[in-house]
C-alpha cells in the first residue's frame, strides 16, 4: 500500500512545482514586456478561419501522434489500435509535460499500450523508439534552422551557442539510431570507448532496443520519418499561424523561430519547459514581433500545445485507467 501512496504524493509534488514554475514564467514575461493577461483575448479577435485553422492543427497533433504509435507497432509486427495509440499519446504528453525530465512520459505510454494487449517488450520498444527518434528529428531540424540563420534574432554569440548545442544534442541522439543500422560494429565501438561506464551502458541499451526496427525495411522506416515530419509541421504550424495573425511579416522566419522555440521547450530542464518557455517569449519572438505581441503569442502557443494537452489528459486519463500503475511505477525496467 505504501508504494502507490508514495508515488501519488510524489506526483502531487511535481504538479505543485510545475504550477509554480508556470506562474513565475508568465509573471516575468508579462511584467517585462508591458503586456497583460487581458491581451490573451486576442485569440477571440482573430478571424473565424484563423481560429478554425488553429483548432484543426491542434486536433491534427493528436491524430498524427496516434499514427506514429501505430506505425512503430507495424514496424515491430504488432497491431496498435487507434484507441491504444490515443491512450498512449494522451498519457505520454500529460506525464512528459508534468514530471521532471519527462520521467513518467515513456513509462506512461508503455503502460497504456500494455493495457491494450501490446506485450511489455514491444510496448517498451515502441515508446522508446518513438521518443528517441522524435527528439532527434526535432533537434536536427532546429540545428538546420539555426545554421540557416532563420532562428531567433539574438546576438551572434547566442545564436552560435544555440546552434552548437542543438547540433551536439542531435548528434548524440543520432548515435543509437545510426548504431541500430550496424549494431555489431556500433556495440563493439561503444564497448571499446566506454569501458563499461554508465554512459556507454545507456548507448548500448539504445542501440540494442532500436536494432529491432531494422527488420521493418526501408519503406516503413521512411514512413516513420514522414510521420515525424507531419507531427512537427502541425506543431510548428500553430506558432506560425499565431505569429502571422499577430502581425509577423515573414512566415519562413516565423517557422524557424517556432522550430527553435519548440526544441528549447523539449530540452529545457523544467517539465515541458514550464516557466522557462513563457519567460523566453521576447528573446525568441521579439525579432519578428513587438514585445507585448511576442508574449501574447507564446502564451497562446503554450495554451494550445501545452496547457490544453495537460487539461485533456487530466480529464481523459481517469476514465481510461492506468494512472495508478504509472504513478506507482509498476512497469518492467527492461524488456520482459
Check residue 257 and give its pLDDT.
92
Check residue 1 and give its pLDDT.
44
Check residue 171 and give its pLDDT.
59
59-63, 116-120, 319-323: least confident range: 319-323
Cα–Cα dist 293/137, whole Å: 29
Of 92, 120, 115, which is closest to residue 105 (Cα–Cα)? 92
Grid cell 502507490 in the structure block, residue: 4
pLDDT winner (highest mean) among 50-54, 180-184, 214-218, 325-329 = 50-54
Query: Is the pLDDT assigned to residue 67 strictly greater than 90?
Result: yes
Query: Is the pLDDT assigned to residue 110 strictly greater than 80?
Result: yes
pLDDT category of residue 336 using cuts at 50, 70 and 90: very low
Check residue 335 and give its pLDDT.
34
pTM equals 0.79
- Residue scoring higher pLDDT (150 or 60): 60
8 A C-beta contact, residue 51 and residue 321: no
Cα–Cα dist 197/14, whole Å: 30
Mean pLDDT over each residue of the chain, to the nearest integer: 78
- Give the residue-averaged pLDDT of 174-196: 59
Rounded to 5 degrees, φ, ψ at 149 are 80, 20
36-50, 95-109, 184-198: least confident range: 184-198
Share above pLDDT 90 across residues of the chain, in percent, rounded to a whole number:
26
- Give the residue-averaged pLDDT of 191-200: 57
pLDDT category of residue 264 using cuts at 50, 70 and 90: confident
Q: Summarize pLDDT for 6-41 with one digit per residue, the tens.
A: 555 666 666 677 678 777 777 777 776 666 666 666
Query: Is the pLDDT assigned to residue 304 strictly greater than 70?
Result: yes
pLDDT category of residue 238 using cuts at 50, 70 and 90: very high
49-53, 76-80, 121-125, 217-221: least confident range: 217-221
Amino acid at each position: 500500500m505504501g508504494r502507490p501512496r508514495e508515488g501519488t504524493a510524489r506526483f502531487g509534488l511535481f504538479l505543485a512545482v510545475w504550477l509554480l514554475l508556470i506562474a513565475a514564467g508568465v509573471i516575468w514575461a508579462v511584467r517585462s514586456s508591458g503586456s497583460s493577461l487581458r491581451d490573451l483575448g486576442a485569440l477571440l479577435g482573430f478571424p473565424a478561419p484563423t481560429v478554425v485553422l488553429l483548432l484543426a492543427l491542434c486536433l491534427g497533433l493528436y491524430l498524427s501522434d496516434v499514427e506514429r504509435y501505430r506505425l512503430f507497432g507495424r514496424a515491430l509486427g504488432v497491431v496498435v489500435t487507434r484507441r491504444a495509440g490515443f491512450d498512449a499519446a494522451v498519457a505520454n504528453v500529460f506525464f512528459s509535460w508534468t514530471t521532471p525530465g519527462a520521467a513518467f512520459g515513456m513509462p506512461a505510454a508503455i503502460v497504456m499500450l500494455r493495457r491494450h494487449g501490446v506485450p511489455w517488450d514491444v510496448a517498451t520498444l515502441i515508446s522508446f523508439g518513438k521518443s528517441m527518434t522524435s527528439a532527434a528529428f526535432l533537434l536536427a531540424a532546429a540545428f538546420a534552422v539555426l545554421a540557416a540563420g532563420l532562428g531567433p534574432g539574438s546576438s551572434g554569440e547566442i545564436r552560435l551557442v544555440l546552434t552548437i548545442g542543438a547540433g551536439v544534442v542531435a548528434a548524440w541522439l543520432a548515435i543509437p539510431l545510426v548504431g541500430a543500422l550496424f549494431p555489431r560494429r556500433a556495440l563493439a565501438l561503444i564497448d571499446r570507448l566506454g569501458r563499461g561506464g554508465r554512459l556507454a551502458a545507456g548507448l548500448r541499451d539504445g542501440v540494442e532496443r532500436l536494432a529491432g526496427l531494422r527488420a521493418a525495411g526501408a519503406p516503413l522506416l521512411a514512413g516513420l520519418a514522414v510521420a515525424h515530419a507531419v507531427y512537427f509541421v502541425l506543431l510548428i504550424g500553430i506558432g506560425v499561424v499565431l505569429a502571422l495573425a499577430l502581425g509577423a511579416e515573414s512566415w519562413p522566419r516565423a517557422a524557424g523561430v517556432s522550430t527553435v522555440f519548440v526544441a528549447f521547450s523539449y530540452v529545457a530542464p523544467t517539465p515541458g519547459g514550464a516557466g522557462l518557455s513563457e519567460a523566453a517569449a521576447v528573446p525568441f519572438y521579439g525579432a519578428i514581433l513587438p514585445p507585448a505581441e511576442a508574449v501574447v503569442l507564446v502564451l497562446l502557443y503554450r495554451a494550445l500545445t501545452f496547457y490544453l494537452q495537460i487539461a485533456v489528459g487530466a480529464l481523459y486519463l481517469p476514465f481510461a485507467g492506468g494512472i495508478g500503475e504509472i504513478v506507482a511505477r509498476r512497469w518492467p525496467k527492461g524488456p520482459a
